[in-house]
Amino acid sequence: MCKLSRSAWQGTTDFPALARGLGNLASHEPNPTIGSYWPYATTVWDYVHRAMPYQSPGSLTPKQVYSVTAYILFLNKIVGEHDELNQETLPRVTMPNRNGFVPDPRPDTK
């Protein structure tokens, strides 16, 4: 398993943190990480697929995207170290903030 630098945990001025922050969105200093903020695991896969790696976005194979997504979800204690993510299992992952989003009440949205 690859090592994650301390800055990836904490975030930097250029890049937000990937993990931790669970349960602190209502605090004075919320940390909207993937584990604390994102409502669906499938959006994590989509983001990794479109944006990673930073130097060459969109160049990962689907298997690599599932691996990176699994690792990020593992860092957030959402999936286990040996859980397999694939096309069938990913949509079944329940994110901690799945029910934290509400419909947009503005009249100009559907």
The predicted-structure confidence for 6-55, as pLDDT tens digits, reads as follows 444 455 556 778 888 778 788 888 888 898 889 999 999 999 999 999 89
Q: What is the pLDDT of residues 68-106, one digit of tens each?
A: 999 999 999 999 999 999 999 999 999 999 988 777 778
Q: Which of 34, 100, 95, 38 is nearest to 68 (CA)?
A: 34
At how many degrees (to 10) do helices 62-75 and 41-51 cross? 130
CATH architecture of 41-98: Orthogonal Bundle (1.10)
Domain edges within the chain = 41-98
Tokens coding 78: 């959402």
Give the global pTM. 0.78
